[in-house]
Every structure is written in structure tokens, then in C-alpha cells.
Structure 1
Amino acid sequence: MSIRAAMLALLEQGPMHGYQLRAEFEQRTGATWPLNVGQVYTTLSRLERDGLVEHVSGAGAEDAPDQNGQVMYRVTDSGRVEVSEWFTTPVPRTQPPRDELAIKLAIAVTLPGVDVAALVQQQRTATMSALQDYTRLKRTGRASRPDQPEDLAWSLVLDSLVFDAEAEIRWLDHCEARLRRAALEGQLHTPARPTRSSVATDDPEEARR
């Protein structure tokens, strides 16, 4: 829904073709969520099917296809209504998006042989590294002193990434404490140690030891 609505909102600023829409979207979000141009045109086709955008036609300079022959699209009145509803309706939290890390941990704690503590530590290191990168970006470049609307948009996206990373680190700390307590209470599987018979080797002498 977010890509669909964002494209409609951008088209409210004037007719564009798919490559322009992709560039405008990535400019405003700092290419945090890169778009495949095929995805853009697929979304445009669906928007056209639903009566929310239409091909630009006519002989006027504003209405004609661009000089490279790209098909231009513009938002319809119905599309403007959907954009208005998007901006005035809270993002629902009743169906949260799938979180790969939460799913991974949920599965890991139910399976024998998985070193969940190591998983948490590795993820914390990776998330901390990402947090440092986001913080560095906030101090440098166009996000450090946003004097254009596009720069402010990118700065706000960076803020979101920073807050998400900080929250994930706090959650991982919480998970580590819960896992430690569960292990003490015997509620957590411990990683299975490989036996000699299960270790593959190309050395016959080693295999006999």
C-alpha cells in the first residue's frame, strides 16, 4: 500500500513516467527502499486498472509523452481522494509486517541444537554497526543540514532507521535476559554438541580416532 499511495502522491505534483517516479521516490527516501522499475510499472498498471491514474494524451506540451517516448501518467480525481485518505488515516498496527528477526528467534528457541545466545549476540553486533552507519549519515551530507524538502524527508527517514535500530538493540538485550532466565529454569534447549561420529572428515586415520 505504501508504494502505491506514495506514487499517487508524487503524481499529484504533475505527470511523470515510471523512471521519473522511481527517481523521485528514491530521492525523497534516500534510496532506503530501492524500487525496481518493473515494480513501478506494474503498480502503475494496477493503478490505471483501478481508475486512479490515466495515460496522458493530447497535443499540448504538458500532456505529450516525454522526448524519449516514455508513457506519462497523471493522477485522476479518484486517485487524489485516495492520496487524501492515505495522509489522513493512521497506519494500522493490527496486522504488523513480518519481522524476520522476531520470526527467527521464535523458531530458534523451539528447536534443539540452535545456539540462541550466539544468534542474539551476532544480531546485536550487526544492528549496532548499522546504527553507527545511520548516525554517521545524520552527521554528514544533505541530512545533516536539511535546507530542502527532499533533504528533510531523507533526514526523517534516517531518524526512523536510527530509532528502529535502537529499539532492536533494547529488544535484543531484553531477549538475552529472558533467555538466560529460561535456561536457568530449564525451559530452553541447549545447543547439541557434534559427536565424533557426526563430524565429516577426509582423513581415514582421523575418522578412526
Structure 2
Amino acid sequence: MTVPMALLALLDDGPSHGFDLKRRYDALLGQDRELKYGQVYSTLARLERDGLASGVGVEAGAGGDRKVYAITPAGVTELDEWLAAPNPPGGRPSELFTRVVLALVVGRSADQVLDAHRRAYLDRMRELTASRRGGDVVDRLAGDYEIAHLEADLRWIELASARLGAVADEVREAGR
């Protein structure tokens, strides 16, 4: 789900064509894996089909004409809801990182993203701690495993919170 939301976030900054969206995505989030052009255009087609983005024109480019896309009001709502909703505890940490970076890029509150995740992770830790009391040894071990991962995620959340001010301008500039 992160690629469609990332493209919506980049479109929230203004209309753009797929080539430029790929370049900006790769600069911001492509450290581990750059997007393939086919993935960009198939995702844009699905966003357009679902009413979250729309074609707003054609721009001449070095390799031919490029369709320009813009985020729709429904796309803005979808993006805002995605940014506000915490990952399920134990979810992919890279998605939390992506949400924080994209919130900074589009000028939303990365603090709110981090706070929502912090609350959800602490709630899950309380649930796991309570359930470990009555579980068998395998259940307790599984709970310990998940708690250890949640603790690591919470440490990262605290570190990210402390650094938000220092990285916000840099991230916004990289996303342009």
C-alpha cells in the first residue's frame, strides 16, 4: 500500500507526470529499492481508475508526451486517512518510516503519525503482557518476541520524534 500512497503524497505537492514522480520517489524512499517505471504507471492507472488521481493534461518531454496527473479530493482524503492511521503493531517498519517521510513532504504532522503509532504500540504491549500471564510457554515466548520488536519500534519512534525538526526541511527539499 505504500507505493500508491507515496505517489498520492507526491501529487499532493502538485500535478506531475510519472517520470518526475519516479525520480522524486527514488530520491526520498528508494534507498533499498527504486521503483520501476512500469510500477509507477500501473499504479497511476489504478489511482485514476479508483478516482484518487486524474489526468489533467499532457506535457512534452524528451522521450515524447507525458501524461500529467493530479490528486483528486478523494485522493487527498485517502492520503490523510492513511497518514493518520497507525500501522498494525508488528507491521513492516519501513511503512512507518515511509509515513513519517511522506507526512513531512506534504506538510502534514509527522508528530501525529508518530504519536498514533506510539499509542497503538503501547496498547499492544499491554495486551501482550496481560495475555502472557495465562498462556503456555510457546505463547509466552511468542509474546516476548513481539514485545521485543515493539520496544525497538518505540525506541525508533522516540529517536525520530527528537530528530523531526532537524530533518523536516531536508526531506521536503529532497522531495521536490
Q: Using structure 2 for the length normalisation, give the TM-score.
A: 0.50
Bigger relative contact order, structure 1 or 2, given CA contacts below 8 A and separation 6+?
Answer: 2
Q: Which has the higher helix share?
A: 2
Larger radius of gyration: 1
Return the structure number with greater strand share: 2
